[in-house]
Amino acid sequence: MTTSPQPYARLAGLLYLVIIAAGIFGELAVRGSMVASGDAALTAARIAASPDRWRLGIAIDLLMHVCDVFVMWSLYALFRVVNRRLALLVLLFNLVQTAVLVANKLFLLVPLMLLGDAPYLHGVPATQLQAWSYVAIRLHEHGFGIGLIFFGVVCVLEGHLIRRSGFLPRTIGMLMQVAGVCYLVNSLAQLLAPSLQGVLFPWVMLPVFVAETSFALWLLIRGVDAGGWQRRMDATRP
């Protein structure tokens, strides 16, 4: 690994912004405009009318997860000098989150398969195909929430590393920890109290957007305090 932290910071910041943009596109521009809450027939009609748009949403999501891996690697390179074991734990939780979310994308392929014109579907009533497609989409929503439980832990631990680092603003560390708590509250509410989650969302995610965007922009524009990072690096050497 290079001894300069700035390339890692710039790469993490740039790709973090790509992840944020890709996530917004997938959730709002694709699924948000095509999935009609509680209406399987309308949702199926929209997907059948624009299957390429649905596929694009899946592809953008997968690009987001590829970027995830590079961000994890870059942040581990930065934070290993603060606490190697904790940085490794963050990396492991992040890998679990990404693995869950990547596997979860299989649910989004189900509507494309069920709403097509394959011969083996001809004997199945359209209403059943629409219902199964909608259930798959709902399962994706819950799988996404499960993955974000692990990312909530990542944000809490990462915020601690930022606050202890000496080369990034403590305020960003606190914001990331608040974001982690918001992720956990939202995902646990989705699992344990769906009616409460409906009230909390999307407001509970506003601190998440502020925290992650601030962190990404800081890494991209300002980078890290190279002197502070180097002092941390020197302290780890025997």
200 occurs within a structural domain: no
Evaluate whether residue 172 is within a structural domain.
Answer: no
**Alpha-helical segments (H) within the chain:** 6-24, 32-34, 40-49, 51-79, 84-104, 106-114, 126-165, 170-192, 194-200, 206-217, 226-236
Count of structural domains within the chain: 1
Q: What is the pTM of this model?
A: 0.93
Q: Give the model confidence (pLDDT) of 147-201 as tens digits.
A: 999 999 999 999 999 999 999 999 999 999 999 999 999 999 999 999 888 888 8
Is the residue at 14 inside a domain?
yes
pLDDT tens per residue, range 60-110: 999 999 999 999 999 999 999 999 999 999 999 999 999 999 999 999 999
For residue 1, what pLDDT band results from cuts at 50, 70 and 90?
A: very low
Its domain, for residue 34, covers 6-143+212-233
Is residue 3's pLDDT more than 80? no
